Amino acid sequence: MSTINLPTFVDVSAAAERIKGYANRTPVIISRTVNEELDAEVFFKCESFQRMGAFKFRGAFNALSKFDDRKRRAGVVAFSSGNHAQAIALSAKLLGMPATIVMPHDAPASKVAATKGYGGNVVIYDRYKEDRELIGRDLAEKHGLTLIPPYDHPDVIAGQGTAAKELFEEVGALDALFVPLGGGGLLSGSALSTRALSPGCKLYGVEPEAGNDGQQSFRSGAIVHIDTPETIADGAQTQHLGSYTFPVIRRDVDDVLTATDKQLVECMAFAASRMKLVIEPTGCLGFAAARQMKPQLHGKRVGILLSGGNVDIKRFCSLLAAL
């Protein structure tokens, strides 16, 4: 068995230097209503205001900016229909390299358009007949492209960790931090920053209840695979944690919690009406879990990472209308 080198906080700090001037330093927002509701001091780190609308720009840009000249000339390939696709396409454009994004034939037209708008070369595959990993690897081999996965990569993890790093630098140590969890890039990166900058802080990853593979993996000690879960949290419809993300999560995270789709929509409605924030369903996972933990948070300093705001506005309206 080969051993892997897990990323550390040194890598997060290096990533912070690389993304400086390209990524937004996103705002931290407080809401007196939330503080009163939870009887706590709550700080929201708003990655919905990151470039392309989610934290994924951080990891993508960090990974691509480490390419040598040969890799830059050939370009990057990614397979994603979500925020990772846009993050890779935009980062590649800013760094002047070609990007190929492999997307399923039934990807929302708005996402395809957004990716093309950032200059990405979109390759469509049939979700039911073709294997996207094979297509990605084939393209990588034929054209010398470098494949960057959405979460299981040390440079992606280090980049994602810069959001929590900024939060601790801005507000100081916290008692608890709530972070959305899909494949674990954001959570493992946040863990590196938390253990370095606020070691006593309780760190919670939060998944959709319908797809709690991360919770099962965390509690059992081995990576659990599940079928694609049915949830409105499309950024967390992952089937398993990764070989880099899982060991960091297992070592540095205090627990993995879950939230229901209904709780996510309630948080979306609250954020919109009381805080004037448009947050996508996945982005509300941490907020939803914190609201369930009110008794434990009494009098505490609490961070909530709002991971993204990319939701089609008509879908946003219909989710809220169905409450």
Ligand X SMILES: *Cc1c(COP(=O)(O)O)cnc(C)c1O
Least separation in angstroms between residue 206's CB and ligand X is: 9
β-sheet bridge partners, residue 100: 77, 121
Least separation in angstroms between residue 181's CB and ligand X is: 5
Taking residues 123 to 152 in sequence order and writing x for each that binds ligand X by CB under 6 A, - otherwise, the string is ---------------------------xx-
Is residue 41 packed enough to be buried (19+ CB in 10 Å), middle (13-18) or exposed (0-12)?
middle
Instruction: Candidates 127-135, 224-232, 280-288, 315-323: pick the segment binding ligand X (CB under 6 A).
Output: 280-288
Instruction: Candidates 31-39, 71-79, 269-277, 278-286: pick the segment binding ligand X (CB under 6 A).
Output: 278-286
* Cβ proximity of 174 and 44 under 8 Å: no
Instruction: Candidates 102-110, 135-143, 190-198, 232-240: pick the segment binding ligand X (CB under 6 A).
Output: 232-240
Helix boundaries (H) for the chain: 9-19, 32-38, 56-65, 69-74, 83-94, 109-117, 132-143, 154-171, 185-197, 213-220, 245-252, 261-275, 285-292, 294-297, 313-321
Per-residue b or e along 175-198, where b marks 16 or more CB atoms closer than 10 Å to that residue's CB? bbbbbbbbbbbbbbbbbbbbbbbb
State the DSSP string of 140-175: HHHHTPEE--SSSSHHHHHHHHHHHHHHHHHH---S
Q: How long a stretch of residues is the chain?
A: 323
Taking residues 85 to 124 in sequence order and writing x for each that binds ligand X by CB under 6 A, - otherwise, the string is ----------------------------------------
Binders of ligand X among 281-310, rule CB under 6 A? 282-283, 307-308
Least separation in angstroms between residue 310's CB and ligand X is: 7
Please tell me the distance from the alpha carbon of residue 41 to that of residue 59, in angstroms, as a whole number: 29
Instruction: Candidates 33-41, 106-114, 130-138, 231-239: pick the segment binding ligand X (CB under 6 A).
Output: 231-239
C-alpha dist (Å) from residue 174 to 43, 55, 106, 167, 193: 9, 20, 42, 10, 12
Nearer to ligand X, 74 or 210 (CB): 210
Least separation in angstroms between residue 153's CB and ligand X is: 10
Least separation in angstroms between residue 150's CB and ligand X is: 6
Binder of ligand X out of 235, 237, 267, 316 (CB under 6 A)? 235
159 interacts with ligand X by CB under 6 A: no
β-sheet bridge partners, residue 146: 76
Nearer to ligand X, 174 or 191 (CB): 191
| Residues noted as catalytic | 56, 81
Binders of ligand X among 35-54, rule CB under 6 A? 54
Nearer to ligand X, 154 or 182 (CB): 182
Nearer to ligand X, 1 or 313 (CB): 313
By beta carbon distance, the residue nearest ligand X is 308
* Cβ proximity of 291 and 263 under 8 Å: yes
Please tell me the distance from the alpha carbon of residue 277 to that of residue 189, in angstroms, as a whole number: 24
Please tell me the distance from the alpha carbon of residue 4 to that of residue 128, in angstroms, as a whole number: 33
163 interacts with ligand X by CB under 6 A: no
Angle at 177 between CA 40 and CA 302, to 5 degrees: 15
Instruction: Candidates 4-12, 129-137, 234-242, 248-256: pick the segment binding ligand X (CB under 6 A).
Output: 234-242
Binders of ligand X among 169-198, rule CB under 6 A? 180-187
Q: Please, what's the largest Cα pairwise distance for the chain?
A: 58
Binder of ligand X out of 56, 165, 250, 291 (CB under 6 A)? 56
Residues that bind ligand X (CB under 6 A): 54, 56, 82-83, 150-151, 160, 180-187, 235-236, 238, 280, 282-283, 307-308
